[in-house]
Each structure stands twice: as structure tokens, then as C-alpha cells.
Amino acid sequence: MKTLLIVEDNEHNMELMIQLLEDDYKLILARDGLEALDELVDKTPDLILMDLSMPRMDGWTTIREIRKGSTCPGIPIIALTAHAMHGEKERAVKAGADDFITKPIDFDRLFDTIELLIE
Ligand SMILES: [Mg+2]
């Protein structure tokens, strides 16, 4: 079973993703970017789902830290953005995200994107 790291500060969104993904993937959970970086010290998930607006360390910063890090710089990252504006998505891709999903999350599209990037 493949492993996903979910980085999301909103409890409701986190619960929803757990319910929809836990049957198909092993899940590692982090509530902000700093927790995510802590998890990545000794764990190597197959893919990361990254919220962008988070306390302590936001998603854009966290993605840049992962990309310049030594543990798993090439790991696929899907940004989860509530910001529908084009510039926000571009910033996520520029920070190093492979793709992005706009909230409210279309779960069919999320599953497809995960599968595509994990293969
Ligand atoms: Mg958030």
C-alpha cells in the first residue's frame, strides 16, 4: 500500500480526506508545514497533499523547503488551494508543486491526480 502525507490545518478538511483515502493508502498526518518537515526526517511517503494556507509554516514555504532538502526532494506534491485565483496556483507550481487541486475538492479528480503522479 502506498503512503500519503496529508498536510492540512483545517480539522474538517483533514477528517474528510482521511475518510476518503484511508482504505486505499497508508496516511501520515501533519497539521502545518513544520510538522510535515518533522515527519519527513524519518519517513518517505510516496506523495504529499499540501494545503497552502496554514499557521506557523505555509504550504508554499514548505514545498520550497522540501524541494531544496536532502531527504526526498523529488517526491510528488499536490497543492490543495482554496484560492481560485490564477496567481495562487501559479505560485504553488513555482514553489515546486507538481499539480494543484482547488477546494472544495473534487475527489474523483484528486484520486486521478494521485494515481497519475504515484505511478
Ligand atoms: Mg489551511
Q: What is the Å distance from ligand 1's center to 102 Cα?
A: 12
What pLDDT score was predicted for residue 81?
Answer: 85
Sheet holding 47-51, edge to edge: 26-30, 3-7, 47-51, 77-81, 99-102
113 CA → ligand 1 middle, Å: 20
Phi and psi torsions of 6, nearest 5°:
-105, 125
| Residue 78 bridge partners (DSSP) | 49, 99
Measured CA to CA in angstroms, residue 28 lies from 13, 54, 94 at distances of: 15, 17, 25
Q: How far is the CA of 66 from the centre of ligand 1 (A)?
A: 18
Domain boundaries, the chain: 3-111
CA–centroid distance, residue 96 to ligand 1 (Å):
18
Number of Cβ within 10 Å of residue 13's Cβ equals 17
- Given a contact cutoff of 8 angstroms between Cβ atoms, the answer to whether 36 and 7 are in contact is yes
At 39-91, the pLDDT tens digits run: 999 999 999 999 999 999 999 999 999 999 877 889 999 999 876 667 777 88
What is 3-111's CATH number, 3.30.420.60, 3.40.50.2300, 3.40.50.1100, 3.40.50.1820? 3.40.50.2300
What string of DSSP letters covers 23-38?
TTSEEEEESSHHHHHH
